[in-house]
């Protein structure tokens, strides 16, 4: 077992180590001076040749660290994941289905719109509605008007829903509706119009202070609303046909001579005078 040195021996040991360290540092400085002198003594030609060789030397290829390659590889491997591929395929399939449904709906709407336009054209141009005439009823206050429907469509029969015919009499600046009903033997409903169909309507224009636009005549508006289809059991292929008529109507018991004098006419005043829509 070693005994630690006494205090004076320790100081001596530290002083000896310091002398050795100073001697070693001195030797290092001498060696550096010698090496510097040898380098400065080298001929300039040798130094220039060394510099030329360093300039002409090919650059050394630096390879990327392996860790970078591993990270990049991991990013590309993500696209090979079955879960990600499945999600992408589901999204693409959803977009494709949505686009297909949109195209189908657009085509269906376009075809339905075209079919409706054709039906509206048929109801307007192929169904002729005419007010044939108006006559007095025996009760001394009512009138009978005759309406005629004619089918000119080359496609076949038309199915027409005949609704109640509305009748209005102008009183002052407003139109006042008066009672109207189908004549005996006539009922509102669907009729098959192959060539022509005629029906009568009874109405009673019991209105006071009716407007007299021409001497001795009431101003009357008649409105016929029909639903038209090319099928006996229609679905959405039904269009409305609204036809207004305007007439001047002579009241029951009117004085024909007074009317002729006021209108300055020699003709017998008719029961009604048809007017164009206005």
d(CA 189, CA 15): 135
> What value, to the nearest 5°, has the Cα angle with vertex 275 and ends 269 and 277?
165
Q: For residue 157, give the nearest of 116, 122, 199, 200 by alpha carbon.
A: 122
d(CA 250, CA 266): 16
Residue for token pair 């085509």: 107
Instruction: Tell me the pLDDT tens digit for each residue of 1-43.
Output: 445 555 556 677 777 777 777 777 777 676 777 666 554 545 5
Q: Give me 278's structure tokens.
A: 């206005």
Residue for token pair 């029961």: 271
Q: CB neighbours of 251 closer than 8 A, spacing ≥ 6?
A: 205, 216, 218
Instruction: Tell me the pLDDT tens digit for each residue of 235-267.
Output: 777 888 888 999 999 999 999 999 999 989 889
Sequential DSSP letters for 78-117? GGG-HHHHHHHHHHHHHHHHHHHHHHHHHHHHHHHHHHHH
Query: What pLDDT shows up at residue 111?
Result: 63
| Residue-wise burial string across 169-178, b where 16 or more C-beta atoms lie within 10 A, e elsewhere | bbeeeebbeb
d(CA 176, CA 208): 10
Residue 41's φ and ψ, nearest 5 degrees, are -80, -10
d(CA 55, CA 52): 5
Instruction: Tell me the pLDDT tens digit for each residue of 172-231.
Output: 899 999 999 999 999 899 999 998 999 999 999 989 899 999 999 999 999 999 988 888
Which CATH entry fits the domain spanning 123-275: 3.30.420.40, 2.40.40.20, 2.40.50.500, 2.60.40.1470? 2.60.40.1470
For 9, the 3-state DSSP assignment is helix
Would strands 189-193 and 196-203 be described as parallel, antiparallel, or unpaired? unpaired
**Domain boundaries defined on the chain:** 123-275
50 pLDDT tier (thresholds 50, 70, 90): low
d(CA 143, CA 249): 10
């Amino acid at each position: 077992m070693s005994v630690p040195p006494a205090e004076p021996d320790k100081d001596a040991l530290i002083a000896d180590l310091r002398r050795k360290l100073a001697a070693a540092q001195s030797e290092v400085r001498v060696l550096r001076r010698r090496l510097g002198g040898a380098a400065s003594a080298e001929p300039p030609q040798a130094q220039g040749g060394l510099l030329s060789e360093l300039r002409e030397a090919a650059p050394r290829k630096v390879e990327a660290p392996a860790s970078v390659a591993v990270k990049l590889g991991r990013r590309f491997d993500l696209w090979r994941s079955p879960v990600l591929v499945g999600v992408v395929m589901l999204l693409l399939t959803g977009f494709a289905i949505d686009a297909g449904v949109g195209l189908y709906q657009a085509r269906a709407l376009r075809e339905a719109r075209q079919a409706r336009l054709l039906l509206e054209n048929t109801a307007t141009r192929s169904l002729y509605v005419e007010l044939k005439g108006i006559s007095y009823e025996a009760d001394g206050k009512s009138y009978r008007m005759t309406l005629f429907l004619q089918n000119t469509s080359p496609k076949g029969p038309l199915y027409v829903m005949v609704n109640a015919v509305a009748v209005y009499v102008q009183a002052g600046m407003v139109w006042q509706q008066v009672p109207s009903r189908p004549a005996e033997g006539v009922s509102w409903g669907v009729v098959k119009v192959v060539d022509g169909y005629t029906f009568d309507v009874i109405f009673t224009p019991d209105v006071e202070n009716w407007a007299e636009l021409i001497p001795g005549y009431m101003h009357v508006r008649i409105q016929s609303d029909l639903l038209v289809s090319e099928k006996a059991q229609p679905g959405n292929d039904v269009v409305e046909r609204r036809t207004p008529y305007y007439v001047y109507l002579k009241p029951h018991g009117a004085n024909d001579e007074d009317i002729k004098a006021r209108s300055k006419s020699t003709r017998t005043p008719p029961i009604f005078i048809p007017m164009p829509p206005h």
